[in-house]
Amino acid sequence: MNNRIRAFLCSCLLLMGSSLLHAQEYNPIPVAMPSLLFAPDARGGGMGDMGAATMPDLYSQHWNAAKYPFISSQAGVTLSYTPWLSKLVNDIQLLYASGFWKLGADNLDALSISLRYFSLGSIDISDVNGDFWQTVSPHEFAFDMAYSRMLTETFSGAVTLRYIRADYSTGSDETTPGNAVAADIAGYNESYVAIGQSEMLLGLGFNLSNIGTKISYDGGANSYFLPANMRLGVSLGIPMAKDHTLSLSMDMSKLLVPTPQLPKEGETAEEAQQRIDDYQSISSVAGIFKSFGDAPRGLEEELQEIMWSVGMEYTYLNQFSVRTGYYHENELKGNRRYVTFGAGFRMKNFQVDAAYLISTAQSNPLDQTLRLSLGFDIEGIRNILR
């Protein structure tokens, strides 16, 4: 990454945090490839970017692959498209595809895969004289495969393996494509509970995602943490009347990445460099354990690192759905706060979903982000074609 691109990215980060009154306390956790955490599908996106414990669907691979054994269909595929940061530029986009297959006659096992491609658009590179040199197309790519299995009548588990590649090459010797591997461990429990005179469907889920190596863009001279993340979720499906269902859900998540130490008053240049070197030398495994107790301002800051979202979905005839949700991140940790809205239409073999995001924080580049998703039940389509 040349100096022009690096300066542009740093300027964007500074602008996002400039509205904070206590700039010296603004301490977001830096991670490589944050696109691995972007909600790729419109159903989860319409409920405040959540999905650890929402009712199982074709889009479960990103949120919690352990939900697949609970799906009634035998196989399915999905396609999703998000024109990202559309208020700033018009050529950044997230493309996502996933699919799953039930294994065996007992339908207790499932194999699922997904492909994620995040394009950062086209960037014109100039030479030392300021003249046009070439156009580059930086991008991020991830491919993963998951195996999930029903372990009891109500609980299932899943393990996901992921290959990650980021290419920000500018044609110079400064940058090289970065490669990394990671894994997810997830679980999901679904059972009926009696509340009052109604029997409701309770979903509980967790996902430890992107647990893996660090990634480097300069041949190993510097390495960066992947966005290792712990997500916990709960949902409650409430039967309102015949053919009417309401579900309420909540997700909480925290990066399993160490918190940068803030500069100290009177710190020398050598001390500052040592502080930076100490942070970069932390291994990804050690960083997971340190992430629970290394915030400079103690427990208060540790709690600020927890992101949460709440969402609601109303479904009629198991075909028409409307959704809304809210996502919250502390202003000192990134300040992403937004309301989402969504809708979906489902037939026996096909479903389409859309979601829209409205920022509630000032100068949020995610404002007015649109997601579109398509899902296909492969077994149903096969029966039609016979």
Q: d(Cα 290, Cα 197) in Å, to the nearest integer?
A: 46
Q: Are strands 198-212 and 229-241 parallel, antiparallel or unpaired?
A: antiparallel
Q: Break the chain into its structural domains and give their ranges.
A: 3-385
- What pLDDT, on the 0 to 100 scale, is given for residue 86? 74
Q: Is the dihedral of CA 59, 63, 66, 67 positive or negative?
A: negative
The pTM of this model reads: 0.89
Number of helices (H), then strands (E), belonging to the chain: the values are 7, 16
Instruction: Point out which residues pair with 97 in neighbouring strands.
Output: 79, 115
Regions of the chain with pLDDT less than 50: 1-23
Topology of domain 3-385, per CATH? Porin (2.40.160)
For residue 317 the two structure tokens come to 């005839």
Q: Which helix (H) or strand (E) holds 183?
A: strand 178-195
Q: d(Cα 238, Cα 200) in Å, to the nearest integer?
A: 5
- What pLDDT, on the 0 to 100 scale, is given for residue 136? 74
Q: d(Cα 14, Cα 248) in Å, to the nearest integer?
A: 36
How far apart, in Å, are the Cα atoms of 15 and each of 19, 179, 196, 259?
8, 30, 50, 21
For residue 376 the two structure tokens come to 């296909």
